Amino acid sequence: MQVIRLFFLFSVSFLLSISLAAQQTATSSTQALLLLQRSAAALSGAQTLTDVTLSGTARRVAGSDDESGTGIFKALASGAGRSDLSLSLGQRSEVVNFTGTNPTGAWSGPDRISHAMSYHNLLTEPAWFFPSFAIARRLSTTGYIATYVGHETHNGQVVEHISVSQTSPFRIPPGRCVVRAFIPGRLLP
């Protein structure tokens, strides 16, 4: 009888702790937000950017395909991105849009036929090639939690380690997405 009571009390307290933990709202650390704001200012030159276009050489390796050529990468600060590659085996394009209720995306290969992107391929930042937009979106959008992890050495360089997580705002199974940022201290103003 004593064991049953003990088990019952343990079970009830465990369930209550889970319920209370689910009701708590996590908040960002002030230090993490300050470092992200300083990083955004350093990356943008303290100017408000709305769009970006980058071009350069590109290399794509997928299985036995190893192609090179040129690439044009475009993004909007609002959450859309486009990559166009001119490679040795043909043209490839990818378009991702986070500005609506749910993320959308499409890709095309050398045959130029458009295909919808699978959801797991939409979990990356639309402007993956331009970190200023990724940081700015996390500072201006609710639902992100920034945590200061601390000083570290990453690839031989002293950095400030910040973790940013988000509960998915999209209609998908519940979960969290975590992004880790390593900000070189020498780049901060």
Question: Could you give the C-alpha distances from 110 to 56, 70, 81, 114, 118, in angstroms and in order?
Answer: 19, 14, 20, 10, 19
Residue 66's SS3 state is: strand
Q: What confidence tier does 99 reach under pLDDT thresholds 50, 70, 90?
A: confident
Instruction: Give yes or no for residue 95 having a pLDDT over 90.
Output: yes
For the chain, how many structural domains are there in total?
1
Answer for the pair 99, 78: CB distance below 8 angstroms, yes or no: yes
Is residue 114 in some structural domain?
yes
Instruction: Give yes or no for residue 4 having a pLDDT over 70.
Output: no
Residue 43's SS3 state is: helix
Q: Which residue has the higher pLDDT, 95 or 21?
A: 95
Is residue 141 in some structural domain?
yes
Q: Which residue has the higher pLDDT, 6 or 131?
A: 131
* Tens digits of residue pLDDT in 108-124: 999 999 999 998 888 78
Is residue 153 in some structural domain?
yes
Q: Please state, in angstroms and rounded to a whole number, the distance separating the CA atoms of residues 137 and 158.
A: 25
Q: Please state, in angstroms and rounded to a whole number, the distance separating the CA atoms of residues 173 and 189.
A: 40
Average confidence (pLDDT) over 47-62: 93
Is residue 7 in some structural domain?
no
> Which pLDDT score is estimated for 21?
41
Q: Which residue has the higher pLDDT, 29 or 59?
A: 59
Is residue 16 in some structural domain?
no
Answer for the pair 122, 44: CB distance below 8 angstroms, yes or no: no
Q: Which domain holds residue 129?
A: 29-187
CB atoms within 10 A of CB 177: 12
Q: Please state, in angstroms and rounded to a whole number, the distance separating the CA atoms of residues 74 and 129.
A: 9
Q: What are phi and psi for residue 59, nearest 5 degrees?
A: -135, 135
pTM for the full predicted model: 0.69
Is residue 162 in some structural domain?
yes
Is residue 6 in some structural domain?
no
> Which pLDDT score is estimated for 184?
65
Is residue 148 in some structural domain?
yes
Partner residues linked to 162 by β-bridges: 148, 181
* Tens digits of residue pLDDT in 120-142: 888 788 998 998 888 888 888 77
